[in-house]
Amino acid sequence: MSLKKLTIALGLALSLSSLPMMAMAQDDAADPAPAASEETESNFSWNLTVTSDYVFRGVSQTMREPALQAGFDYSFGDSGFYVGTWGSNIDFGAGGPDMELDTYIGWNHDLSDDWNFDLMLTRYNYVGESTAYGSLDYNELIGVVTWSEMIAVTLGYTDDYANSGADSTYLGVTGTWEVGNDFTLNAGAGYTTFEGGGDYSDWNLGISRQFGPVNAALNYYDTDIAGPQVSDGFVLSFAFGS
């Protein structure tokens, strides 16, 4: 593997200017389809989101430009198993891919009235890159433990981050609280490690409200690293789902 591709994949501290080209994925690892999606009697669900920026673990995937995102899920009855796909436009710079299309399979199970466990294997697929740029596709195993539908702890691991052959681990904690008048407050913090260095922290704080079929959200994102594509501002999004 070339040094250029390794730098792109890992975002090493020695070259923070490569951050615009970092291979990332959807904003919330705890939910492969970050748009609001509610349970229905059908095993099939969908979600659609329009957002002013696509941020994943503190890093913009669209050069701080808007994104259109959509996802589809199918659950297999009471077994807890599900499959799905999720996509978004992206921008990693010249020669890079222009679309992310994730596919995943998982198992969700209520451990008790208060505790839930979700285990998911996600394949991050990047489409449209030039031959010289190289493929960034990779797999990540993600586990999420949720308490009272309010606090969630996420652990993600891959042994081939961005098709680089290097390990990467993500640990995140998120919280969601209803604050009255149909408003919901959310907050989160995460830590990402890379084999070879470049580890960093990210955090976010936001508020959302349901307006009929539309969920409107305003979130602030920030990290402890610097770079032209590292998010340190507000993101407005509108989500639809069923």
- Give the pTM: 0.84
Query: pLDDT higher for 25 or 83?
Result: 83
Whether 204 shows a pLDDT value over 90: the answer reads yes
For residues 193-214, average pLDDT = 96
Structure tokens that stand for 157 in this block: 């691991």
Whether 163 shows a pLDDT value over 60: the answer reads yes
Encoded amino acid at 173, one letter: V
For residues 177-187, average pLDDT = 96
**What is the band of 41 on the pLDDT scale with cuts at 50, 70, 90?**
low
For residues 71-94, average pLDDT = 97
Can you give the pLDDT at residue 54?
97
Contact 197, 12 (CB under 8 A): yes
Distance CA 212, CA 196 (A): 47
**What is the band of 211 on the pLDDT scale with cuts at 50, 70, 90?**
very high
- β-strand pairing of 81-89 with 99-110: antiparallel
Distance CA 25, CA 100 (A): 7
Whether 1 shows a pLDDT value over 80: the answer reads no
Can you give the pLDDT at residue 165?
97
Domain ranges of the chain: 3-241
Nearest C-alpha neighbor of 191 from the set 202, 180, 182:
202
Distance CA 107, CA 122 (A): 12
| CATH superfamily of the domain spanning 3-241 | monomeric porin ompg (2.40.160.40)
Whether 191 shows a pLDDT value over 90: the answer reads yes
- β-strand pairing of 99-110 with 183-194: unpaired
Partnered with residue 180 across adjacent β-strands are 183
For residues 112-140, average pLDDT = 98
**What is the band of 103 on the pLDDT scale with cuts at 50, 70, 90?**
very high
| Span 20-36, pLDDT tens digits | 334 445 454 334 444 44
**What is the band of 229 on the pLDDT scale with cuts at 50, 70, 90?**
confident
On average, the pLDDT of the chain sits at 87
Can you give the pLDDT at residue 93?
94
- % pLDDT > 90, the chain: 79
Whether 12 shows a pLDDT value over 60: the answer reads no
